[in-house]
Each structure stands twice: as C-alpha cells, then as structure tokens.
Amino acid sequence: MQHALIEKYGEARRPPYTSYPTPPAFSPSVRAGPCGAWLPAIAPETEASLYLHIPFCRSMCWSCGCPTTIPQRAEPILDYIDMLRKEIGLVSERVGNRLKVRHIHFGGGTPTIMQPEEFRDLIGLMRARFAFTAGMEIAVEIDPRTLTPEMAEALGEAGVTRASLGVQSFDPVVQKAINRIQSEAQTAEAVTRLRAAGIGGINFDLIYGLPHQTVASCIETARAAVAMRPERFAVFGYAHIPSFKKHQRLIDERALPDAAMRAEQAEAIAETLVAAGYIRIGLDHYALPVDSLAVAAGRGRLHRNFQGYTTDACTTLIGFGASSIGRAHDGYMQNEVPPGLYAQRIASGKLATVKGYRLTAEDRLRAEIIERLMCDFRADVTTIAARHGFDAAPLIEGNARLMALKEDGAVVIRGGTVTVRQDHRFIIRAVAAAFDAYIDSSARTHSKAA
C-alpha cells in the first residue's frame, strides 16, 4: 500500500503550502496602490512579524532553489542594504510605530553576507521605527562556511535568538555534485561561535534526494549533525526544477534518486533523529522536546508560514527586500523579484509591490483547513467551516480529489474530520491540495512533493 501511494502521490507536483492561496495565484492587478492602502489600515497594537530578504551568496550551490545572485564586488550588497533601509522608512511612514513586532526573520541568500556593523544598523533602524516586544524572536539564516567571529558576535549583540544553518549533506561525493563543500569541522565551529555569542536556538537544514545520495550517507550526515545538538532540524526533499533554476542544469540528473529511494532516505533521516531524542513535527521538522516548536506542536498551536513550521501566530507579516512576500488582513503582497527593479521602485519613493492577492472569506476557510492538515495531519472540517460561516458538505462530499485519497486508503474521514495516518505523512501535501481551489492552474509550477 505504502509503495503504491508513493508512486501515485509522492512525485506529484504540489505546493509546500506555506501560504494559501500560494504565490502562483497572486495577480499584478493587486499592486502597490491597493496594498499601500492595506498598510495604514492595520489596527493599532497589531502584533506582526517582519521578513527581510537578502538575495546574495558568496557562491552558488547548484541545488539551490532560492532567488539569489553571486556579487563580485561589495557595492551591490551595500546598495541593496541602502534600499532596504529606505523601504523600512517607506513602510514605517504608513504604519508608524503601531506594529508590535514579535518576530523578525532574515532570509536569503545568505543574510550574513553583510558586514557586522551593517547588520547592527539594520536592527537599530527597525527598533527606532517599530515597537519591539519583550521576548521577541530574531532569526537569521547562515552559511556556516562564511560565518566570521565578528559576525557571530554582532548577531548576539543585536539580540538574535535563533540561527538556521544550511548543512544539506556531509557526504563529500554529494557536496562535490552540488558545488557545496562544507566540512563537519566548519559547521561545528559555527555552532560554537553562535553559542558563545549567546544565541540559544540553533537549526540545521538537511536535504535528501540529492545526486549520489544514499540511505547510508543520509544516516551518516544525520548522526554527525545530531552530535552538534541543534535544537531543531528541517529536512527537505531536493526539488529539481532546472527549467526554473538554470544552475540546476549542472546537476547530473542520472545521479538523482527515484521516488522510492527519496522516501527511504527521508525515513532513514527521520528514524535517526527520533532515535536521538528529537520530536517529529509536521511534514519535515524535528525538535528537542523542550524546544518551543515541539511544545507548540504538542498543544495543537503549531503554525505554518513562509519560513515553514513556526510558533509564530501573527497574521500580519511585512516583507522587505526583493521578492519578499507580506500579508495584511486584506491579503498578500509581493515585491519585485529582480533586485534591480526592486531598487528602482524604492529609489523613486514607491513601495516595491508588484503583485498580490485579495483574500476572500472562502480563502480564509480553506487556508485554515490546509494549515491544520499540514501541522496536525488532521482537520475538523465541520467545525472550521462553521466558524467561517460555510457548509462543510461541499468541501468533503463534493471533493473528488479527497474522495480519491479516501478510496486509496490515504485518509480517514469520520464525522466531518479528515485524518492522515502518521505512516502516510509523506503525502500530506497531496491531501492539502484536495482543498486548494487553485491547484489545477498552479500545480505545475511547484516542486515535487517530499
């Protein structure tokens, strides 16, 4: 049964559902004008999260799926940071200090490509422009290969509470195949520096499904990573989309594992982490029992946003930088993707929003169902629908995709509640897609489901 489900659903192209609707549904008709009006409408004292996208890296990993570039000089980075500062000013003029910031996430690319003083200045600017709450979380994505002692110290001084380190794989054969050479010693040294700087939350990102990767090498990498004792792991399946990411054409497709092998690798990593004392959370996260993510999952308070599984319950997200996505009460808004076009709009004093999406009542209903499925592998559709003022029957009985999953034994439907068995968690994205009203037009642009 499990092999059949992997064959049928495991390689289907499905969104990661870090939002609903997903970005392919966003429209250029919802541009800076409408979105600009959403910002002043944010109620006073609203709790919000901020996301800053830094689209630069020192070198290109051929497996990367992020929008990033490799600058040859420091000037493009400095110019970009200057535009970030201007954008923070433009947004703060519209929302003032009414936002109570609870979370800040620096993503990329490699955010720590900037200099320590530049990072301190950015945090200082946001403190001056917005109201930081007590106990707020500041998270930064880091390439361990380029983290300097000075940057680690600056992160600690700026109040960073969580660092997410890209590991991918410690297998030298795999590393060579994806152009990312990173030793265990480099990674351990980065962890030591971050701990010394007072950063108490460390995340590792692992990837399976890479070229030349085997179950044995996945286990070896997981064991080596566990020895460094990060608080959390995120374990992602490599998404091979060379038609969208041209650098992925440098990867030998003949060396990529098939769907069954990918599933075996994912499960081998999961078993290794669980055996080491980590709690399995959602589709692809793991955390120590005392970590806030594990606690939230145990209490049914896990959430999902553009950073993946999170404790962040804020429904207002302000995105800064090229390609960043934000959300206000009325809907989603995305900035220009090319850094050059982003900079042009900000330099002219305009918001960089290039497209967005205005949420409907039905969107909010479907979003909650999908989030609960992705987080809990269970959704009480009847209760959720009633809370949003909808009838649950069409969502279940009239749902052909859901009924097909039921007939295949992938889900159980009882009393208006849809449940996915734990041993079938690998198809959760396909189950979530059964409630996606836009899937027919957007599925082909997404990566293969893990």
Q: What percentage of residues in the chain have a pLDDT greater than 90?
A: 80
Token digits for 377? 């592998």
Interval 295-309: pLDDT, tens: 999 999 999 999 899
- 161: domain CATH number is 3.20.20.70
Interval 388-430: pLDDT, tens: 999 999 999 989 999 999 999 989 999 999 999 888 888 899 9
Does residue 354 sit within a domain? no
Is the pLDDT assigned to residue 197 strictly greater than 70?
Answer: yes
Does residue 447 sit within a domain? no
Q: What is the pLDDT of residue 443?
A: 35
Number of domains the chain contains: 1
pLDDT band for 450, please (50, 70, 90 cuts). Answer: very low
Token digits for 440? 């027919």
Distances, alpha carbon 336 to alpha carbons 55, 104, 342, 352, 355, in Å: 12, 21, 5, 6, 8
Q: What is the pLDDT of residue 253?
A: 94
Residues spanned by the domain of 129: 19-319
How far is Cα 11 from Cα 449, in angstroms, rounded to an integer? 6
pTM of the predicted model as reported, rounded to 2 decimal places? 0.92
Does residue 281 sit within a domain? yes
Does residue 212 sit within a domain? yes
pLDDT band for 33, please (50, 70, 90 cuts). Answer: low
pLDDT band for 15, please (50, 70, 90 cuts). Answer: confident
Mean local confidence (pLDDT), 31-60: 87
Closest by alpha carbon to 88, among 119, 53, 125?
125
Q: What is the pLDDT of residue 442?
A: 39
Q: What is the pLDDT of residue 426?
A: 85
Distances, alpha carbon 92 to alpha carbons 129, 156, 351, in Å: 6, 25, 11
- Is 4 exposed, middle or buried, given 0-12, 13-18 or 19+ CB atoms closer than 10 A? exposed
Interval 319-338: pLDDT, tens: 999 999 999 999 999 999 99
Mean local confidence (pLDDT), 59-70: 88
pLDDT band for 446, please (50, 70, 90 cuts). Answer: very low
Q: Are 283 and 425 in contact (CB under 8 A)?
A: yes
Token digits for 203? 């995340």
Mean local confidence (pLDDT), 70-89: 94
Closest by alpha carbon to 161, among 194, 129, 124?
194
Mean pLDDT of the chain, nearest integer: 92
Does residue 283 sit within a domain? yes
Interval 210-227: pLDDT, tens: 999 999 999 999 999 999
Does residue 338 sit within a domain? no
* Strands 131-142 and 100-108, sheet pairing: parallel
Q: What is the pLDDT of residue 44?
A: 82
pLDDT band for 12, please (50, 70, 90 cuts). Answer: low
Does residue 188 sit within a domain? yes
pLDDT band for 10, please (50, 70, 90 cuts). Answer: low
Q: What is the pLDDT of residue 90?
A: 94
Distances, alpha carbon 34 to alpha carbons 17, 191, 331, 340, 441, in Å: 24, 44, 10, 23, 24
The conformation of residue 424, written as its DSSP 8-state character, comes to G
How far is Cα 55 from Cα 352, in angstroms, rounded to an integer? 15
Does residue 356 sit within a domain? no
